[in-house]
Amino acid sequence: MALTKSQYIWLDGKFVAWDEAKVHILTHSLHYANSAFEGLRAYPTDRGLAIFRLRDHTKRLLNSCKTTLLKCPFSADELNAAQGELLRKNVFAPNTSVYIRPIVFVGYGVMGVYHLNSPISVAIAAWEWGAYLGDEGLEKGIRVKISSFTRNSIKSMMGKAKVAANYLNSQMAKCEAIEAGYDEALLLDNEGFVAEGSGECFFIVRDGVLITPPSENALESITQDSVITIARDLGVAIERRRITRDEVYVADEAFFTGTAAEITPVREVDSRPIGEAKRGKITQKLQEAYFDVVYGRNDKFSRFLTLI
């Protein structure tokens, strides 16, 4: 997907022109992959752009930093304010959703694995970004391959930190799935239970019950939490428990959730059709409800929105 440029990027407290937001080749994080990042979306509402769950994303960003020993030089309040300012400073096409990518990274100055003497930088970029798995995917559902890669083991990696290093595993799984003709990968954990997608959490529906795995082997996803909250509000029964591969195959419905992926239905897994091989009824209901919330059409959840 080619990037849609915007005008400014926030870098260490200053706005710089998009094309000038550069780093040195010896930036530590480029070599050793310790950088914490977030992905948020801002949606156009009746009252202008609103960032979805800004405070929760910033909290997770700072928790990621804590986990991987990155001393973020900015406070939560400063990071929240910077994201609002960045959206006000840039001009976006009306009625498009904007993706926001804050990143805390180890900068230039020291090489070698030990990073604690290196300077820490923070950048925030925002650009127009459409449906992550395609507009057609949102409507008709996507085809998914269970990956030959196991999700990062909790004995070696720390999946609750949204850090670049965790994404090599995602990247390999995603490429494998695409090269095999699928749209997305679903990764199992070390014991064979469903962990998460390359950049999404996973839900199934069986006999009217919504089921999603616990976060032990996955990112603590904000969209997953939003979907659970919305489902409760709609009176949909929910179970938070482990899911096996064969249970995925016989599910009535399945979908991925994530800030980028939003709610993307899954119509096929490993050449087994899921339900009627199209977006399921409960999936559609949740998708509509989710879009109502993020676009500011449901006052009950206005607490999730930060108007800029």
Residues in contact with ligand PPE by CB under 6 A are: 39, 170, 196, 199-201, 218-219, 221-224, 257-261
CA atoms of 181 and 201, how far apart (whole Å): 21
118 vs 286, beta carbon nearer ligand PPE: 286
Q: State the minimum distance, in angstroms, from the CB of residue 52 to ligand PPE.
A: 10
CA atoms of 38 and 41, how far apart (whole Å): 10
102 vs 280, beta carbon nearer ligand PPE: 102
Residue 162: active-site member: yes
8 vs 99, beta carbon nearer ligand PPE: 99
Helix (H, G, I), strand (E, B) or coil at 61: helix
- In this chain, which residue has its C-beta nearest to ligand PPE? 39
Q: State the minimum distance, in angstroms, from the CB of residue 116 to ligand PPE.
A: 26
118 vs 304, beta carbon nearer ligand PPE: 304
Of 235, 163, 240, 129, the C-alpha closest to 194 is: 240
Q: State the minimum distance, in angstroms, from the CB of residue 139 to ligand PPE.
A: 19
- What are residue 176's phi and psi, to 5 degrees? -60, -45
DSSP 274: P
CA atoms of 75 and 307, how far apart (whole Å): 20
| Token reading at 163 | 């850090």
Report residue 115 CA to chain centroid gap. 26
Q: State the minimum distance, in angstroms, from the CB of residue 303 to ligand PPE.
A: 17
Whole-Å CA distances, 306 to 44, 45, 128, 230, 294 = 11, 11, 18, 18, 10
6, 92 Cβ separation under 8 angstroms: yes
DSSP string of 62-108, one letter each residue:
HHHHHHTT---SS-HHHHHHHHHHHHHHS---TT--EEEEEEEEE-S
Q: State the minimum distance, in angstroms, from the CB of residue 260 to ligand PPE.
A: 3
Catalytic residue among 160, 162, 278, 300: 162
80 vs 118, beta carbon nearer ligand PPE: 80
Catalytic residues, which ones? 162
